Amino acid sequence: MNALLRHRNTPKLGTIAVLVLIAWLLPYTVGSYAIHVVDIAIVFALLAIGMGLAMGIAGQINLAQIAFFGVSAYATAILTTHNGLGFWPAAALALVASALIGLLVGIPALRMQSHYLGIVTLGLALGFINWTTNAKIAGGAEGISAIPVPPMFGVDLSSEYLYYYLEVVVFALALAFGLFVVRTGLGRRLMAMRDDPLAAGAVGAEIPLLRMTAFMLSSVFGGLAGVLYAGLIRYIAPETFNISNMFLLLAMVVIGGRQSLVGCVVGAVGLTLIREQLVDYPTYAQLGFGVVVVLMVVFAPTGLAGVPARLKALLDRRLGRTAERSVMRPFEPYEAGASREGGKAADGESRPLLEIKDIAKQFRGLKALKDVSLTVGYGEIRGIVGPNGSGKTTLFNVISGFYRPSGGRVLMDGQVVSGSRPYRLSRHGLARTFQNLRLFGELTVRDNLLVALDRSRTYAIWKYVLWPVGVWRQERRLHRRADDLLRRFGLTEFATAAPGSLPYGIQRRIEIARAMAGEPRLLLLDEPAAGLNGEEVRQLAEIVRSIRDSGVTVVLIEHNMGLVMSLCERVTVLANGSVIAEGTPAEVVADHAVIEAYLGDSAMAEMPLPNPTEVSS
């Protein structure tokens, strides 16, 4: 069965039918005040979903949600009462306005993250509140009244009972859309960005655009809530969009579980109902919510939505259940053949794939790289060795766009690529792994691979609105390819596991599989054998050879000299940021400068020339 169809969180049809029935019958069972509270709860639920998308899914702290809500509510009010527009055209323009404001608020996220972003978004929300209180067009402290009842084919939406049904339909569609986003490519990329923006960029995720997208999504949900609120209450005033409501919203998302949209809805509905019960004690209610939020952050950071998984993990630990196998299946070699003979490019030219020309990198006073030059031909396996701190990882970081060089150029396939962002380099055919593993910790192993397999551009998210079938088909293709990749790398058994729960050797292999998912031409492996046992190193050598035989050029940094000697045709030696030797493994280990550089370095000082068969398959 397709993995997509057996998604662990896909709601059952029966559950949906029961929920629809409850939603349908609810107005028949409650009084007019209760239905008013439910109508308000739905508005908050929409706001909470938007906030969950930005904060929980994309990891972007957004304290401006109340402003997105306000912008569309005010835009609807102003356009209908001042400009005489009908309710629905005004609502459509209000949605556009809040999406644009969302993009605007997202701009600071390009430069700053975490609490700085929180402060800036909060500042923008305060600015908006200030505007509503002072601007004449916004009605000042008195607000705007007499917003018209939304027309709906003769249905009287001034009745809160009938308005409830409109809200339920809009809410259901919005939640379904949110879940669709979260469970497909865009959501995965947003989550990958949340877990590790550097690694996400390295597998092709356009981080700046994704950050803007997160704020835009959040603002559209805020905008929907604003329109519904304006149509429901038909009067708006600054007190609805104040900081205490922003805090309440934050509490809903944190308590419900910011990484789960359903959790956000539960938090929003639950806290709206509780707030109504405590309406006579607003100060105590605020204080109570504050205490609960602090307790949740400390003891249950994943909120109510995360409680079942935590309980299950606890139970499994208590019962000593370890469901996962800890041994990988064998790697299935790639088909050989695409390998370029004689260091030639695809067009037959004999230029190298990678040219590094006089690269320098300075960190304040420290010259980590000094005029490093080297070339790597097509189909080569190049080793980069050197004592600790000699600049190897810095060189990789420059090649892969993580660092801008202080001088010199990097060319790939004859094209200057130095200074390009990691996601552009990924699309140009570069992939890498990291010395300290950088897997997306909150995603499953399959999702880690899916993020890298998905090469669609961020601008293609228009399909989510206009052509969701296309998104769905693409998902099916990606899941099939992920299954193939999992099988090739012997990882099928671990597909649904969290990478952090797996042994180190398996995590290293997942990282190589993820790098290969992007079908690179050049693969940079940063200490791929670190932490592996002897058998795993032997398997690694087999994998790297097969990758090269499939036509991918490999450059690896390694301290395991046995592996370097057996695998690499040529080795470049760095010391103190400079290339001190280059040649075949036998040549470099006999080089005087190399021996001197390594004196005192235990990895190589006593290095006998290893027998290549030690690590070969």
Ligand X SMILES: Nc1ncnc2c1ncn2[C@@H]1O[C@H](COP(=O)(O)OP(=O)(O)OP(=O)(O)O)[C@@H](O)[C@H]1O
Give the whole-angstrom CA distance, residue 18 versus residue 280.
34
The residue from 307, 313, 366, 605 that contacts ligand X (CB under 6 A) is 366
Part in contact with ligand X (CB under 6 A); list of ranges 8-16, 50-58, 121-129, 386-394: 386-394
Cβ distance to ligand X smaller for residue 361 or 479? 361
Cβ distance to ligand X smaller for residue 118 or 391? 391
Question: Are the C-beta atoms of 599 and 605 separated by less than 8 Å?
Answer: yes
Q: Could you tell me the sign of the dihedral formed by the alpha carbons of 83, 85, 91, 96, in that order? A: negative
Indicate whether 531 belongs to the interface with ligand X (CB under 6 A): no
The residue from 37, 233, 249, 368 that contacts ligand X (CB under 6 A) is 368
**∠ CA(569), CA(573), CA(578), 5° rounding?**
140
Part in contact with ligand X (CB under 6 A); list of ranges 190-198, 303-311, 331-339, 389-397: 389-397
Q: Any bridge partners for residue 432, and if so which?
A: 524
Least separation in angstroms between CB 543 and ligand X: 22
The residue from 60, 72, 132, 394 that contacts ligand X (CB under 6 A) is 394
Give the whole-angstrom CA distance, residue 44 versus residue 50.
10
Part in contact with ligand X (CB under 6 A); list of ranges 167-175, 255-263, 285-293, 392-400: 392-400
Cβ distance to ligand X smaller for residue 392 or 570? 392
Cβ distance to ligand X smaller for residue 24 or 504? 504
Indicate whether 391 belongs to the interface with ligand X (CB under 6 A): yes
Integer CA distances (angstroms), 5 to 10, 32, 188, 538, in order: 8, 41, 16, 37
The residue from 363, 467, 472, 504 that contacts ligand X (CB under 6 A) is 363
Least separation in angstroms between CB 406 and ligand X: 12
Indicate whether 383 belongs to the interface with ligand X (CB under 6 A): no
Cβ distance to ligand X smaller for residue 438 or 521? 438
Indicate whether 530 belongs to the interface with ligand X (CB under 6 A): no
Give the whole-angstrom CA distance, residue 587 versus residue 515.
31
The number of angstroms, rounded, from the C-alpha of 488 to the middle of its chain's C-alpha atoms is 25
Integer CA distances (angstroms), 423 to 113, 207, 252, 481, in order: 19, 8, 35, 21
Give the whole-angstrom CA distance, residue 559 versus residue 386.
8
Least separation in angstroms between CB 358 and ligand X: 17
| Interacting residues with ligand X between 427 and 466 (CB under 6 A) | 435
User: What are φ and ψ of residue 269, in 5° steps?
Assistant: -65, -45
Residue 306 tokens read as 């995360």
Determine the size of the site formed for ligand X (CB under 6 A).
Answer: 12
Secondary element (H or E) of residue 15: helix 13-29
Least separation in angstroms between CB 584 and ligand X: 21
| SS3 state of residue 273 | helix
Indicate whether 17 belongs to the interface with ligand X (CB under 6 A): no
Part in contact with ligand X (CB under 6 A); list of ranges 135-143, 331-339, 388-396, 547-555: 388-396
The residue from 184, 259, 390, 566 that contacts ligand X (CB under 6 A) is 390
Packing angle of the helix pair 185-195, 445-453 (nearest 10 deg): 110
Place of tokens 């005004």: 90
Cβ distance to ligand X smaller for residue 435 or 492? 435
Packing angle of the helix pair 65-81, 32-51 (nearest 10 deg): 120
Least separation in angstroms between CB 278 and ligand X: 50
Contact footprint for ligand X (CB under 6 A): 363, 366, 368, 386, 388-394, 435
